[in-house]
Structure 1
Amino acid sequence: MIKGIDLSLLFGPGVPVAAPRAVIEALQSVKIEENAGAVQSGFDLIFALDKDSPLNTLFLLAGGSALPILRVALMATINGRATALINGVVTRTDLNPGSGGAPSTLSVKGKDLTATMDEIDFSGIPYPAMPPVARVALILAKYAWLGVIPQVIPSLEGPPLPTEKIPRHQGTDLAYIRSLAEKAGYTFFMKPGPAPATSIAYWGPEIRIGEVQPALTVDSGFSTNTEEMSFSFDKEGVEIPVVYIQNPQTKVPIPVPIPSSIPFQPPLGLVPPIPPKIARLQDTARLNPMEALVRGFAHAAQHSDAVSGRGSIDVLRYGRILRARNLVGVRGAGRAFDGVHYVDSVTHDLSRGSYRQSFTLKRSGLLPARTSVSV
């Protein structure tokens, strides 16, 4: 599809298999949205097909739910590095019949595998003496046949005593897992890979440490690898959360402010803004002290980013595929915004002869807290 990049498409009901060559040749463009946090990732494939092609019927049946599950997986290989772009299911199809001899255009839209977890309401299933981490692992076990690999981090909440409380499932699997993540100050998402047609189901804190992707460089002559990039600094969304811990003897709530420095999210900006707002988390008084502090740290993590950036790159010039939920370096944007940023979202746009990505970045403050970034 693109010189220097090999694109692999797998699809099929239940277990995806490699698409035949005719399908790959009919593929005109691919758009994939890769998001951090609770926002579902999705894809949109555009095919140019003859009106008599059996793929028209297959994908339209899948969009109309006549087929139980039609899965789609995409892999891209650049410079010998294979990257899983999406592993999801078809949720909608749109057909635009061609006119004047032009071929029909078929749009196949879908979401990641979290879409399969939002179909059936399992309310009422009991989980006696099971902490949240065990409940999440048990729920995810139902999706192992789809290639879902659980990556579950234990929270501070222990198992409830069956004589006092038996937790029960509320809503769909996706809604219940997300509610447990919110209470623990965690996040839940599906990450495609490591192998084709597999996904890692991550339930744990949003982590901003690890390997830094090669720097996005602007206005630096021959080293420039970014087509455009802009930044903004807005402190209005920054808040200091205050949790309340209740004294068991006096029943008086004790306010405890939560600092902006979080263990699993070290500051990427050297100079954070002075938070203009104080958020009083009143519902924390009924929790034990550790649970209250976790809620406070989670709120601080979600309201600590004053710097945001956006831009676009040509993947061939950048030399690799930029991934969301990871760190990346920035150069040439000026002293205030250079350094390491967290990649909040990435949109992949592939068409004949072109592979571009648009991205959004965020971090807590101005000036780089880390003095070096990878090239």
Structure 2
Amino acid sequence: MFFQGIRLSLLIGPTVPLPAPPNLIQALDNIEITQTDAGRSGFQLSFKCDRSGVFAAIDYPILKLPLLRPFNRVIVVVTVNAIPHVLMDGIITHQQLSPTSNNSGLLTVTGEDVSVMMDMEEKIVAHPAQPDIAIVPKIIATYAQYGLIPTVIPPAFLDVPNPVERVPVQVGTDLEYLEELAERYAYVYYISPGPVPGTNTAYWGPPTRAGIPQRALSVNLGTSTNVNSINIQHKALTPTFVSGLGEDSLTARSLPVKTFSSLRLPLATQSAMLRTAKARTVLPKKTAGLTYAQMLSRAQAITDASMDQVVEATGELDATRYNGVLKARGLVGLRGVGSTYDGLYYVKNVTHQLRLGEYKQSFTLTREGVGTTTPVVVP
């Protein structure tokens, strides 16, 4: 499918996805893909269908195609300016038929990224003498058939359990356990498609706040404007600090557990605390059986996560004017909204909406405060 310099490729199949046949591409009406750093990303493909002709008297022919059956794998690639971007590598989980008049209708298949296959079986597994940093890649490696490439970032506090004292035990699905381990450090776990079709990056670590920012989102800049709409919120009640006492499981002593600021790489010159000097304060949570280092780590995770979304920007852009693909889970510059909210942001999620002649992207950007840390952003 081609339009305005953008080429769309669809691969689909039961095990190894292959290019979709021409009749399926011609029936394709709409694609919606949501990429997020929290939970599973998802997709919807809508196909026009009809029952015209002698051979369609019994059923819609498109329903007889084995390619659109649940648990088939779908890969969506969009090429902009000769650069391919893998938007989705997922599994079909749902099918919906909406018949209309004149023997026509709309068939919609819905699915989630390949991490849905990590959420299919609950299990009880012990991981003796293994820290979280060792457990995570071990679990990811069992799904090599989906081309998973593990990217695991060690936490600031490394906890190696003594098997005499405790043994980490997984109770639940692999995906649930990976997300549980990530939550302890205010980390995220997600599967990002690419860099090439058929491969995926399994990321377990803090939200990415380093690297080369994406092309800037521009507002009110004449012909350089590429954002259709944007709304920015400053949520003053979001920052949360921890202060209280916790009992160290090794020494049985009550020790102070307190956080002072976020340890994330700053994207704003003025964090919420520097600007207001006020924040919610909570007691340490679920400290029973934890060492002092574990209590400090989990308290810091509460503060880090709360500061991540103090400033939130939501909006929509036109991909043809943006001249590229905005991707979630990375950095992007924002310009044209004033010095308070200009600068770098973390892209929390992006929803891609494609149909013939149209490619729009809705986005959510976040950071911990106001004021830009850079005089210019990548145009």
Asked if structure 2 preserves the Cα contact closer than 8 Å seen for 1:253 and 1:285, the reply is: no
Match of 2:140 in 1: 140
Matches of residues 292-311 of structure 1 in structure 2 within 5 Å?
A: 292-304=295-307, 305-311=309-315
Q: Which moved more, 1:53-62 or 1:347-356?
A: 53-62
Asked if structure 2 preserves the Cα contact closer than 8 Å seen for 1:114 and 1:174, the reply is: yes
Q: What amino acid sits opposite 1:294 in the alignment?
A: S
Match of 1:241 in 2: 242
Q: Which moved more, 1:282-291 or 1:162-171?
A: 282-291
The structure-2 alpha-carbon separation of the partners of 1:21 and 1:135, relative to structure 1 and needing over 3 Å to count, comes to: same
Residue 257, structure 1, aligned to residue 258, structure 2? yes
- Matches of 1:371 and 1:251, distance apart in 2: 51
Asked if structure 2 preserves the Cα contact closer than 8 Å seen for 1:242 and 1:279, the reply is: yes
- Matches of 1:335 and 1:154, distance apart in 2: 35
Match of 1:49 in 2: 49
Q: Which moved more, 1:78-87 or 1:1-10?
A: 1-10
Asked if structure 2 preserves the Cα contact closer than 8 Å seen for 1:243 and 1:282, the reply is: no
Asked if structure 2 preserves the Cα contact closer than 8 Å seen for 1:239 and 1:275, the reply is: no
1:62, CA displacement in angstroms?
2.6
Asked if structure 2 preserves the Cα contact closer than 8 Å seen for 1:342 and 1:362, the reply is: yes
Q: Which moved more, 1:150-159 or 1:52-61?
A: 52-61
Q: What amino acid sits opposite 2:324 in the alignment?
A: R
Asked if structure 2 preserves the Cα contact closer than 8 Å seen for 1:244 and 1:292, the reply is: no
1:248, CA displacement in angstroms?
7.9
Provide, for residues 230-275 of structure 1, a one-character-per-residue CA deviation record: whole Å limited to 9, x for no partner: 211121111122364546898442324323241xx22212122234
- Matches of 1:89 and 1:78, distance apart in 2: 24
Runs of 5+ consecutive residues of structure 1 not aligned to the other structure? 64-68
Matches of residues 332-351 of structure 1 in structure 2 within 5 Å?
A: 332-351=336-355
Q: Which moved more, 1:344-353 or 1:278-287?
A: 278-287
1:60, CA displacement in angstroms?
9.3
Match of 1:269 in 2: 268
- Matches of 2:129 and 2:248, distance apart in 1: 27
- Matches of 2:32 and 2:278, distance apart in 1: 37
Asked if structure 1 preserves the Cα contact closer than 8 Å seen for 2:250 and 2:291, the reply is: no
Q: What amino acid sits opposite 1:234 in the alignment?
A: K
Match of 2:332 in 1: 328
Q: Which moved more, 1:287-296 or 1:203-212?
A: 287-296
Asked if structure 2 preserves the Cα contact closer than 8 Å seen for 1:243 and 1:285, the reply is: no
- Matches of 2:91 and 2:248, distance apart in 1: 50
Q: What amino acid sits opposite 2:231 in the alignment?
A: S
TM-score under structure 2 length normalisation: 0.90
Matches of residues 277-292 of structure 1 in structure 2 within 5 Å?
A: 277-284=280-287, 286-292=289-295
Asked if structure 1 preserves the Cα contact closer than 8 Å seen for 2:89 and 2:113, the reply is: yes
- Matches of 2:28 and 2:327, distance apart in 1: 23
- Matches of 1:248 and 1:34, distance apart in 2: 40
The structure-2 alpha-carbon separation of the partners of 1:107 and 1:310, relative to structure 1 and needing over 3 Å to count, comes to: same
The structure-2 alpha-carbon separation of the partners of 1:341 and 1:353, relative to structure 1 and needing over 3 Å to count, comes to: same
Match of 2:231 in 1: 230
Q: What amino acid sits opposite 1:259 in the alignment?
A: F
The structure-2 alpha-carbon separation of the partners of 1:289 and 1:316, relative to structure 1 and needing over 3 Å to count, comes to: same
Q: What amino acid sits opposite 1:162 in the alignment?
A: P
Q: What amino acid sits opposite 1:190 in the alignment?
A: I
- Matches of 2:16 and 2:254, distance apart in 1: 54
Match of 1:183 in 2: 184
1:54, CA displacement in angstroms?
4.8
Matches of residues 4-23 of structure 1 in structure 2 within 5 Å?
A: 4-23=5-24
Q: Which moved more, 1:243-252 or 1:301-310?
A: 243-252
Provide the alpha-carbon RMSD of the alignment. Answer: 2.2
Provide, for residues 41-68 of structure 1, a one-character-per-residue CA deviation record: whole Å limited to 9, x for no partner: 10010011334465413469733xxxxx
Q: What amino acid sits opposite 2:138 in the alignment?
A: L
- Matches of 1:191 and 1:250, distance apart in 2: 42
1:141, CA displacement in angstroms?
1.6
- Matches of 1:60 and 1:319, distance apart in 2: 32
Match for residue 90 of structure 1 among 73, 89, 92: 92
Asked if structure 1 preserves the Cα contact closer than 8 Å seen for 2:13 and 2:67, the reply is: no
Asked if structure 2 preserves the Cα contact closer than 8 Å seen for 1:94 and 1:108, the reply is: yes
Asked if structure 2 preserves the Cα contact closer than 8 Å seen for 1:311 and 1:359, the reply is: yes
1:179, CA displacement in angstroms?
1.4
The structure-2 alpha-carbon separation of the partners of 1:170 and 1:362, relative to structure 1 and needing over 3 Å to count, comes to: same
The structure-2 alpha-carbon separation of the partners of 1:250 and 1:218, relative to structure 1 and needing over 3 Å to count, comes to: same
Match of 2:81 in 1: 79
Residue 99, structure 1, aligned to residue 101, structure 2? yes
Asked if structure 2 preserves the Cα contact closer than 8 Å seen for 1:72 and 1:89, the reply is: yes
The structure-2 alpha-carbon separation of the partners of 1:339 and 1:130, relative to structure 1 and needing over 3 Å to count, comes to: same
State the identity as a percent.
Answer: 37
Asked if structure 2 preserves the Cα contact closer than 8 Å seen for 1:243 and 1:258, the reply is: no
Match of 2:170 in 1: 169
Aligned residues, how many?
Answer: 365
Provide, for residues 164-188 of structure 1, a one-character-per-residue CA deviation record: whole Å limited to 9, x for no partner: 3333321111111111222344221
- Matches of 1:249 and 1:223, distance apart in 2: 60
